[in-house]
């Protein structure tokens, strides 16, 4: 049985939104969710609105940086035909029609 692994963005809601008037998610909660997802075998988990290396996506095989995300900038994509440029691992990513390679 093929198992589909998707990118999961665990995101802090720091941008004020009058339609969603709740306080921002504590960073500790995001970190706990991140650890749980990784422990469950999810390969492409990343934290949104958190400035550290957990905001990026790495190859699950060789740990090469594949997608570098900044807070207020477009992501930098390092893929070669949906494969890791270093080891050739196939990267199962959705939404590539919006990402110029």
**pLDDT over 80 (residue 19):** no
Annotated domain spans of the chain? 8-98
CA distance 27 to 41: 21
Query: Tokens representing 96?
Result: 């590539």
Handedness of CA 84, 61, 87, 66 (dihedral sign): positive
What contacts 76, CB < 8 A, 6 or more positions away? Answer: 67, 68
Residue 59: count other Cβ atoms within 10 Å of its Cβ: 21
Identify the residue whose tokens are 């500790």: 28
Q: What is the mean pLDDT of residues 50-68?
A: 90
Q: Reply yes or no on whether the pLDDT at 46 is more than 80.
A: yes
């Amino acid at each position: 049985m093929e198992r589909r692994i998707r990118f999961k963005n665990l995101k802090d809601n720091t941008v004020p939104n009058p339609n969603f008037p709740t306080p921002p998610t504590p960073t500790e909660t995001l970190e706990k969710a991140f650890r749980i997802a990784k422990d469950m075998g999810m390969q492409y988990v990343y934290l949104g609105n958190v400035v550290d290396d957990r905001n990026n996506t790495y190859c699950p095989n060789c740990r090469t940086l594949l997608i570098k995300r900044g807070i207020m900038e477009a992501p930098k994509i390092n893929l070669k035909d949906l494969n890791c440029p270093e080891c050739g691992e196939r990267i199962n990513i959705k939404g590539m029609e919006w990402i110029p390679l």
